[in-house]
A and B are shown apart, each in its own frame.
Chain A
Amino acid sequence: MIFSYLKVAFRNLRKNRFFTLINIAGLTIGMTSTLLILLWVNSERSWDKDQKHYEDIYHVYINRNFNGEITTGQDMMFPLPSAAKAAIPEVEAAAVASFPGDVLMTVGDKKLNRRSITTTPEFLDIFNYDFLEGTSAALKDPDAILITESTARGLFNRINVIGETIKLNNDRSVVVKAVLKDPVPASTVQFDLVQSYNQSSDWVKNASADWVNCGNRVFFRLKPGSNATAVEAKTIALIRAKTGSENPTTRGQIILHPMSKWRLYEEYRDGKNTGGRIQYVRLFTWVAVVILLIACVNFMNLSTARSEKRAKEVGIRKTLGSMRKQLVFQFVTESVLMALFSFALAVLFMFLLVKPFSQLLNQQISVPYSDPASWGIMAGIILFTGFIAGSYPAFYLSSFQPVKIFKGTFLSGKQLLAPRKILVTAQFVISFLLISATILIYQQLQYVQNRDLGYSQDNLLMVNSSSQADRQLQAFKNDLYATGMVEAVNRTGNQITDIFGYTSGISYSGMPESKNLIIGFMFTDHDFAKTMKVKVLEGRDFQPADTNNVILNKEAVRLLGLKDAIGTKLNWAGKERLLVGVIDNFVINSPYGAPEPLMLVSESGWNGRINIRFRDNVDIKKAVAAVETIYNRYSPDYLFEYRFIDEFFNEKFNNEQLIGSLSVIFSGLAIFVCCLGLFGLVSFAIERRKKEIGIRKVLGASVQQLLVLMSKEFFLLIALAFLIAIPLTWWMMKGWLTNYAYRIEINPVVFLVVAVLVVFIALVTISLNASRAALKNPVTSLRSE
């Protein structure tokens, strides 16, 4: 029996090649898109899963309470892990680790700048890495380091490097005691070398007793099955007991951020997790489902549209005794067969496209062959598609009454116009929404990228400073100026695109009690405003003699409530500092946000970055080469590494660029699939009206009149789709844009443009088909009588 169904199904698919082709093309595109999106979703969801204790690892966060304003931070006090391990039974292992930082590694003439973490031996009780050489005991030795395989190859061209000596930051020498496999790319904790805190150093001795200042990360591994909420409560209680006094930290709450949320739920607002990348993962999971549904809708539309052709078969089968459920089964077999075939093609395309797709997204996406769940999902896609696409036509076709079919009173095809129209309208609503959303995302991105930042990023180069360069700073600068290509030079503690740190400790005499504010700060030295091209509103830029002065931006002045700001003496970090200038606000941190309050502090010893502003119209390549020569003269032991500030800035758009790219691709595909469906529907509509078209032509209808006639009903649907889609899109995109303080207003012209575009696409689709019918000699369609 099943064989007979398969045979009939095959013959039917073969006989209706055009119909089969459109359906298979649609389903294949739908499934390929779905597979690619699911691969991406899978790769996003599989981050950190290589860790053995994935379920039990937590990053300790703190919600600090500054007079009711909650900020979430990762920086914790140094002695917390050992105290927590001793006091809280659920804590199996706890480690303190530095934030990753660049370290210059020198072996002979070879220099590499690599990412380093400093931690305690317990780090390896929490995280597991494969040791290629050596053992985890290496971390117990403060003069030892662990390096990754790629670092070993970079420095030595081999991995059996135990016992080799490396100089760090041209300062101290360490011995390699272990070589680890590189952390997998899909891993949140990334490093190239691991150092151990020197337990006998003064710094560690002081830090071990300091429960107030926080500057390191803390990781916990709990015993399996522990209640994380209970541990959070015990941890903050421990901190309160150990600190003894009140501060924003002790007023706050501990959050154990589980490893399963590190990648996708990294954002906190007002102390609560607000998601993060997960919103994109969810969004595109929906897009995948929608594209697949569009393809299924095509299948349904085409199947019911051509039901007249199948009616006779249904009538005969029923007359010969077929039960309705047998017919349903037969039709579903056909659609599942088609889904299966499309799926085979989709898998082929997926393999062809997965590499370019990875490159586009700039992340590694692989096919999880070995995961049985993924095979289950794939089988699920086939059956889902087959059943969704096939069920409706199957139930519809099998409901035909044989008597009516043979009497000819049966008007199939026409009966289902209403549901078909609804489905086509829905497809156009989705197309409209996807195109408009894509355009608005790009507009927002453009808008922010072209934002007046309050400083200039053009020709602004940043190089790492060095102790050698610092010692001869003036001579180094003079040489830079002597090239004639450099307009200004200045040093900062970090790149200008990020705030160095936040403080709540600024005060001045007569400051109102309520002004306990969080203000960003950044270390720098003279010529800051000149180099960055930031407008000085009052007072002056830093000068060489400024060693203990500060400059505030307009927003900080406003928040601190300063009047006649210049000359105010501010207390911060144990020193009294003179306010010498007020600068205009400029954009740091988030390019989407409102300007943040900022304090520039002129203090030497913190300025590890040199910012070099080139003159306009210099040859950038030559200028960089000149800087390199001078740099190497003054810092022979350091590696010359440079970056342009606009590169840093552009990294802030990675997420938006990602959704932009994904939207373009998948909205394009969705629309293409919609058009395929439209094309099919039009061709069936024309088939049905072949005679009518012939008659009208004989009676004098022009080709244009016929095209209008054939397009009219579809354009009514498109118009209806616009009526639904425009408010829907407006509402959804308005919601998306509220994520950004600095955002575009939705311009109705976008909708007009998209409407014209959709109409144009539909017109082309319809004309391709209709013009053939309209141009055909009417004699041929009338002769058959």
Chain B
Amino acid sequence: MIKISNLEKIYRTEDVETVALNKLSFEVKDGEFVAVMGPSGCGKSTLLNILGLLDDPDSGSFLFNGIEVAGFNERKRADLRKRNIGFVFQSFNLIDELTVFENVELPLIYTGVKAAERKKIVEDVLDKMVIMHRRNHYPQQLSGGQQQRVAVARAVVNNPKLILADEPTGNLDSSNGNEVMQLLTDLNEQGTTIVMVTHSEHDARYSHRIIRMLDGQTVMQDLMV
């Protein structure tokens, strides 16, 4: 699914040059659940942005499903992204002005699914996430756990091959956190590849493999059984 080699990303300001990714290489296979760990500033978020096709590497290769996507322009990346990748953020990133239903519906609108079909798909997903009863509420009216379930629903509504989760439990208490981790595990078991950035060893244990990063490089990979 993902094969990166010698990936480099450098941030420059007027007088400082920060190497966020330093010749980073690894591979994620179809159906894998991988956790990425490391201290703050080690390049996790940069990696996730590149994997999510939100950002472009400065050099190196990034094969997504066997296609070289490093150097893709914005339009191509967006196209690839909206059909293949779902995102789950630490701060949920739901749109306050839209209802639960409308938030989840959004990715389908952008991939051009017809309204009648959208309704069916969204209702299906909301059912699965057990938030159907909240469909007409606004994000502010939900608890954190509920909001994150909506966010996960939104991430999977397009049936993506890959879910990228950035600290998905960071803003949640442990019971809500566990619930979300269980959701992700279920999705993975149904065949979705998951790459999750986390600080939590507890959460990381849900994954198959942990990639540990330091200063933009992988330092070791643990295999979980």
Q: Which residues on A are within 8 Å of B, measured CB to CB?
A: 691-692, 694-703, 705, 775, 777-779, 782-783, 785
Are A778 and B54 touching (Cβ within 8 A)? Answer: yes
A interface: dominant SS: helix
Interface range, B side = 20 to 34
CB of B14 within 8 A of chain A? Answer: no
| Selected A-B contacts with CB under 8 Å, 28 pairs | A691-B93, A692-B97, A695-B93, A696-B95, A696-B106, A696-B110, A697-B78, A698-B54, A698-B81, A699-B82, A699-B106, A699-B107, A699-B110, A699-B154, A700-B78, A700-B79, A700-B83, A700-B107, A700-B110, A700-B111, A701-B110, A702-B78, A705-B110, A775-B74, A777-B55, A778-B54, A782-B89, A783-B45
State which residues 58-99 of B face A: CB under 8 Å: 74-75, 78-79, 81-83, 87, 89-91, 93-97
* Residues of B with C-beta under 8 A to A779: 49, 54-55
Interface residues of B in 129-146 (CB under 8 A from A): none
Which chain B residues border A782 with CB–CB below 8 Å?
89, 93
Q: Which residue from chain A places its CB closest to the CB of B56 in the assembled complex?
A: A777
Instruction: Verify B95–A692 contact, CB threshold 8 A.
Output: yes
Alpha-carbon distance between A749 and B198 when the two chains are bound, in angstroms:
62
Closest to B96 in A: A692
- Could you tell me the distance between the alpha carbons of A701 and B91 in the complex, rounded to whole angstroms? 20
A700-B82, A702-B78 as given contacts; A785 in contact with B54, CB under 8 Å: no
Contact A785 B78 (CB under 8 A): no
> How far in angstroms is the closest Cβ of chain B from A503?
78
The list of the 9 closest CB pairs from A to B, nearest first, reads A700-B82, A700-B110, A785-B91, A699-B107, A695-B93, A692-B95, A779-B54, A779-B49, A699-B106
Bound CA–CA A768/B19 (angstroms): 33
- When distances are taken between beta carbons in the complex, the residues of chain B under 8 Å from A783 are 45
B residues bordering A, Cβ < 8 Å? Answer: 45, 49, 52, 54-55, 74-75, 78-79, 81-83, 87, 89-91, 93-97, 106-107, 110-111, 154
Asked whether, in the complex, the Cβ of B52 is within 8 Å of the Cβ of A698, the reply is yes
CB distance from A345 to the nearest CB of B (A): 33
> Contact between B55 and A695 (Cβ–Cβ < 8 Å)?
no
Report the Cα distance A778→B49, complex, angstroms. Answer: 10
Shortest CB distance A716–B (Å):
16
Residues of B within 8 A of A705 (CB): 110
Q: Which residues of A contact B78 (CB under 8 A)?
A: 697, 700, 702
Residue of chain B at shortest CB distance from A701: B110
Q: In the complex, how many angstroms separate the beta carbon of B168 from the nearest chain A beta carbon?
A: 13
- Whole-angstrom distance between the Cβ of B64 and the nearest chain A Cβ: 15
Q: Which residue of B lies closest to A414 (CB)?
A: B97
Cα A775 to Cα B73 with chains together (Å):
12
Which residues of A are found within 8 Å of B83, using beta-carbon distances?
700
Q: Which residue of B lies closest to A694 (CB)?
A: B93
CA distance A174 to B89 in the complex (A): 102
What would 9 more interface pairs be, CB under 8 Å, given A694-B93, A695-B94, A700-B82? A695-B93, A696-B110, A698-B54, A698-B87, A698-B93, A700-B111, A775-B74, A777-B54, A779-B54
Residues of B within 8 A of A698 (CB): 52, 54, 81, 87, 93
A693 to chain B, nearest CB (A): 10
Task: Point out the residue from B93, B106, B154 that lies within 8 Å of A785, measured CB to CB.
Answer: B93
Taken together as a complex, chains A and B put the C-alpha atoms of A785 and B96 apart, in Å, by 15
Contacts of B82 in A (CB 8 A): 699-700
What residues of B have a CB within 8 angstroms of the CB of A775 in the complex?
A: 74
CA distance A779 to B107 in the complex (A): 17
Residue of A with least CB distance to B83: A700
Q: Which residue of B lies closest to A705 (CB)?
A: B110
Of the listed residues A700, A702, A777, the one surrounded by the most CB atoms of chain B closer than 10 A to its CB is A700
Q: Are B75 and A702 in contact (CB under 8 A)?
A: yes
Given contacts A699-B82, A700-B111, contact A785 B95 (CB under 8 A): no
A647 to B96, CA, bound (A): 68
